[in-house]
Every structure is written in structure tokens, then in C-alpha cells.
Amino acid sequence: MSDIILEAICRRGADVVLTDSRSLREPARTVFFALRTANNDGHKYIAELAARGVGLFVVEEIPDGVDGEFIKVDNTLAALQHTAEIYRSGLSARVVAVTGSKGKTIVKEWMAEAFALKGETSRSPRSWNSQIGVPLSLLGVSQTAEFAVIEAGISMPGEMARLERMIRPEVVVITGIEELRPAEGYEDYAAKCSEKLLLARNARAVVYQASIQEAVDRSVPPSVMKIAVEVPPSADWMQHDSLLAREALRLLGAELPDDVVRPLRTRLDASDGVNNCTIITDRFTCDSFSLTSALDFMMRRRTAGRRVTVILDRLRDCDCDRMPQIDGADRVIYVGNGGLTAEQFRAEVSVGDFSDELILAKGEEGGVVSEFAEQLQARHHETVLEVNLDAIVHNFNHFRALLKPSTGIVAMVKASGYGAGAYELAKTLQSQGAAYLAVAVVDEGEELRRNGITMPIMALNPKVTNYDSLFSNRLEPEVFSFDMLDEIIREGAKRGVTGYPVHIKFDTGMHRLGFLESDIDSLCRRLLATEVVTVASVFSHLATADCLDMDDYTMGQLNMFTSICERMRAGLGYAFKRHVLNSAGIARFPQWQFEMVRLGISLYGVDTISVPETRGLRTVSTLRSIIISVKDWPAGTSIGYGRRTILDRDSKVATVPVGYADGLDRHLGNRVGKVWVNGALCPILGNICMDACMIDITDAPGAETGSSVEFFGENLPVSDVSDLLGTIPYEILTSVSPRVKRVYYRE
């Protein structure tokens, strides 16, 4: 069947392989594989794609009434992978595969750039290294390429064999294998190493750090040349990765130029810009290959009424007089490739030229476009809250794996996404297939609707005042009292509303808000007497799901909730969705998941219960800043207002521009709290000021002006900070000031 697919692709000239309908750019050249995943089904988008000009589809079911050429297979993912395998067998390129726990993308980029000096080279876009990304990468390799560098990544046992069959690498580079993490699913570290080393089982050679020699001897066949690279203990990551890359390149007659060995910004950042603009900054390798994914990231954030602008620095792989065409952009400003020179750009383009636009600025670090992207930022405060959108996806899918496929997830984005900002999170969660978003107030929901969020939204506000906004934006309210129900019915009737979805809340033990069990008969009578509203769901709130010693109380709530729902269904005569589990409840009481669950704090990577089911969550929000001043002070020196901290040793004291106006709690001063600098925890000294604080960096190796300072995040869990203050992580996350710039990124 894969031969038939490849023949159809060649016959139609469909050299763009698509698995995500949102990334459609060139319909006439596209073949669409309708993948079924845990959260979506590509078959739903076939009619839309056909209407937009796509003519070739690989499907598991042929739709009725849609024009196009359809190739029916048993499994579209397997067909995609086998098609890539067959295509790879026809390539003459010398193929290198890169895998490992970290550093894959950097090594792949360096090697591809080095190979490009010898001949035509293809490579995986960005970090396309998954069961879907690898076949897409292989199908993108040019038939005339002399070299190809393919990145391979796995997330669980059993995946590498499929990648190896597709890639069939001549040389494999292992960038390193980290220690086993509890959620990875391997029996032990040896099993993890063996899985990754499967990539080298048919290779000519494998290059690796000498520290994994035992695993290589155990897992790699004797027929494979084994090249161990001794990495000095003092080597930093760039030295480590460059040693491996140089050795692998040598095997294929290439060298790694010194100017290629440089940090690469693999992230796509999105943040607020000047004059109501949104700025997407991409400092990744500047070529047409990586431009495609940057445009895709931008176009998914496009909303009605905003111009789309692309500012593009010189592309490495385009002739100086050939500018790439960018569909969907209202304005494109080129630097190089026949456009403006860097000097002309600086002279002719200013920040004031942009207003109410979505702007993609793509240019490598240090270039004129990268510099201009900084000027477009709305805030130039050194302090930022970094929000990892990949981590949101990971955590969402982590909990989805604990649920039945039919169970919907209500994603909590109230309080501006627990301080992270609701819009970018909502876009991400909408793409992942969340059943609902939940906001606290109507204003939050209205803002999401304005920015193009179309999925169902619950408004968990205890009091609605703007019913025009509620109804016009299709925000579905929580109803917890008869007064509130009567008001919604009255306001809906005025506007001719019928069948409006509401969510009925019962108090089963939180004793905060909600109808009581004794209200059921009256509630059903009132609901049946009106056509204005219909019950979309009935729910309650667990008070002690994260209290492992109070399960009797939780079970009492769960049993009461079940009884309430049974009586409500009997009284109303129709079905509705039920939801009672929060983050802790999903992990601990999955048998009570009903039709929906509500995912809150754990969506943001905070584990409040530390049970096996919650291990492996990824940090979403990181609050960081930089050191702006360093001074050496002798023992006995006082630091800060009121001389509350007296140094008990000669110390190196740094000032950081983060204060209580940024959300840093003053109770963390005077050595109560610590921050993370260069791998060391550094105490906060003196009273915290409005806009700054002082820290002791005496024991932080290499800390200096410009060094990064983490207040919570990957290295310093927000729960550690909340424990110091005797509070909860929610308070720390939601206390970050609006003046702190939010930067959203995906790797």
C-alpha cells in the first residue's frame, strides 16, 4: 500500500505531507494523512481540506460526498511510517541519526550546517523526532540530498524499533542518556539505555560518551563500530556536544567549523508587544526549513481584525536575489534575499510603524531582526514569567492517560490561567481537545472569545452582572442558588433565549456554595417549568481529595454526589454530564470520573499529593530575572532597609530587579527564602524592596552581572516557596504582578 501512496504522491506532485489541518499552506501540493490520536481525529477535517484544494488523502474511512483521491488503509499512522520507510530506501543520502536525553536538536543543527559545506543536506525541522515527526522529516528529505541528519526521540518503551526501521542510519550519535525518571515506564536504567541504543543496531558506527560504555557493550551488536568520546568532567554542554558532533562528522569526511559551534535558540516565544501587537520571536537557524514551523506557530494565533506581519532576516538556503513567498501575511519585510540591507532596515523601519498586528520576527541571535524584536516588546523589564506550552500539553496528556477515552477534561484557566495568562493556554488546550475551559468571571471568558477561542467555556462566577456578554459569548454559567437560577431565567427570557446550557452545583461537603440535597425536588420542578435553560452538567467540589488521611470524608461526598445525580436524572427525565473530581481526585479516585473531570493545579505542573499517578509532571511557569549589580561586602555589613540582615561572613551580594511590586512576598526576605543561581540556592538578604531584592551569591560559582536568577520554576519548585510561607502554590502563582512580562514558548 505504501508503494501506491508514493506513486500517487509523485503523480500528483504532492510533495507536502500534512497531518495537522491547521498547518495547510499549499493545498495543491499536499497529501493529508488523517491520523487518529488520543485527542483528535483527522477524518473530521477532510471536507474542509478538500474545499480548500487538497486532492489526495490517506484515510481509514472514505467520507461520503467529498471530492478527492482517497487511499484507504487499516491504520494511517502505520501507513505514514511505512511510506517513510519505503521512501528512505530510495534515498542516496548518507544518513546520520541523533538521539539522547538532551542536546539532540543542537547537535543535529550543527552537523547539518557542517555537512552543507560539503554538499546538499536535509535535516529534521526543529525537534520533529517523534513517531509522527520522524516520518514527516524523512519524507521531507530531498531526493538529491547527499547528507541527511534525522533527530529521533522516544517517550516510552517500544518506540525506538519503529524509528530505526524508518531511519536506517549509517551513523548514530548518542548525546547522553539521563538517569531513569519514575514516569518513563522502563524497568530500570539499563532497559532505558537498551531502548535508545536500538537505533544503532544496524548502523555502521555509533558515537557516544564513554560513560555509557557498559550499556553500549551490552546492547549494540559487535558488527557496529563503537566510538567512545572522553568528555572532561569540567566540560560545559557546548564542549560536550561539539566533541560528539566532531567525531561523527569525521566518520563521513566532514569537519565542524568553530563558528558553527554556538548556542541556538530553539524556542518560539510569544509575548505582548508595543501598540497592542503580539510578537512572535524565532531565533532558530534562519532557513526556509525552520521558517515553515514558525509560520505555522504564528498563523494558529491569527485572529480576525489584526494584520499579520512577517519580518524576515536573510535565509541561509535562499539565493540573495530570491525572496520566499509567504501566504497569509498582509505585510512581509525582508532583510537580505533581495530586500532591505541591515543598514536600510535600521534607517527605515521603526517601532512606530506597527500597531494592532500579529508579528513574526525571525532572525538569528545578534542579527538586525533579532535586535528589532527586542524593541517591539511591550515591556523591557528584566523580569519575566516564562510559560512552557509544551509542559501544559504534557501535563494535560498525562492526566488524560489516567482516564477513559470517553471522559472529557474541563481545563481550569481561571485567575488568568493561574497567573500564567489564559489566552495562550486556552489556544493550546483547545488544540489538545479539552472538553471545556473554566474561567472565574464573565470578563475572562469574554476576553477569550475576543481572541478567537471557540470551545465551550464555563463561567464559575458566583454572581453574573453582564447578561448581554454572558449570552452573546455563549459562556455557560455555574448555578448554585434559586435566586441565581431565577435571575438567569428572567434575563434569558427577555432576550428570547431557549435551551441555554447551565451547570448546576451541589454542596456535598465543601460548605461554600451550592444547592443542597433537600433542594432537588424544587430545583427539578423549576427547571422543567422553563425552556430558557437546560442542564448541561451537575457537579460538586471535593474538600479533601488531597488529604490522604481524610478519605472517609471524600467517600461520603462521592456517594452523596452519586445519589444526587441519580435523583436529578429521574426528576428531569434527561441525561446530563457529571463531574466531581479535581486534580487530586483524578489521580486517587478514577472510578468516580463520570463523564467529565476538572483539571486545575496539576495542569500547571504542581503535584500536591505525590502519589505514583502524579509523578512526571512538568513545570509550566518559571519566574526569573537577572543580576544587575554585584558588590563584595565584609562581615558585619548590614543589607537593606532597617538593617535587618547583618552579614556573618565576607560575602558577594547581588541586586536583582524583583520586588514585592512584582509579586515577591516580603516574608521571604532576611534569609527566609532562596533563589537559584548557577546551580546553587542563594539566600535572599535584607527586607525585600518594592522593585528589587538582594541575594548572597558567595557560593554560586561564576555568578556575575547578567546571570540568570530563578525565583521558582524548573530548579526551585513553586511548592518549596509556598511551604516557606505556610501557604499554597496557587497563591504564589497567582501573585505574580501584571507588570511582569509573560513569555510563552514551545521548543
Note if 196 is an active site residue: no
Helix axes 520-528, 482-494, angle to 10 degrees: 0
**CB burial readout 255-269, b (16+ within 10 A) else e:** ebeeebbeeeebbbb
Note if 414 is an active site residue: yes
User: Which residue carries 494511517 as its cell?
Assistant: 76
Q: 280 has which bridge partners?
A: 270, 360
Phi-psi region of 514 (alpha: psi -120 to 50; beta: other; left: phi over 0): left
CA atoms within 13 A on the CB side of 488: 32
Q: How far apart are CA 178 and CA 186, in angstroms?
A: 13
Cα four-point dihedral sign 65, 70, 72, 73: negative
Of 192, 414, 427, 505, catalytic: 414
Q: How far apart are CA 23 and CA 32, in angstroms?
A: 11
Q: How far apart are CA 605 and CA 610, in angstroms?
A: 12
Q: 695 has which bridge partners?
A: 654, 684
Residue 483 phi/psi, 5° resolution? -60, -45
List the one residue out of 626, 740, 717 whose CA is nearest residue 678.
626
User: Which residue carries 520522524 as its cell?
Assistant: 134
Q: How far apart are CA 549 and CA 444, in angstroms?
A: 36
Burial status of residue 336 (CB atoms within 10 A of its CB: 0-12, 13-18, 19 or more): buried
List the one residue out of 438, 443, 477 whose CA is nearest residue 455.
438
Cβ atoms of 441 and 471 closer than 8 Å? no
Q: How far apart are CA 492 and CA 496, in angstroms?
A: 6
Query: Any idea how long the chain is?
Result: 747
List the one residue out of 395, 452, 443, 393 whose CA is nearest residue 423.
452
**The three cell numbers locating residue 191:** 532497559
Burial status of residue 573 (CB atoms within 10 A of its CB: 0-12, 13-18, 19 or more): exposed
Residue 237 phi/psi, 5° resolution? -65, -35
CA atoms within 13 A on the CB side of 206: 29
Chain center to CA of 582: 22
Cβ-based neighbour number of residue 579 at 10 Å: 27
Q: How far apart are CA 306 and CA 331, in angstroms?
A: 12
CA atoms within 13 A on the CB side of 426: 28
Q: How far apart are CA 8 and CA 135, in angstroms?
A: 17
Chain center to CA of 584: 22
Q: 656 has which bridge partners?
A: 693
Question: Which residues form the catalytic set?
Answer: 414, 641
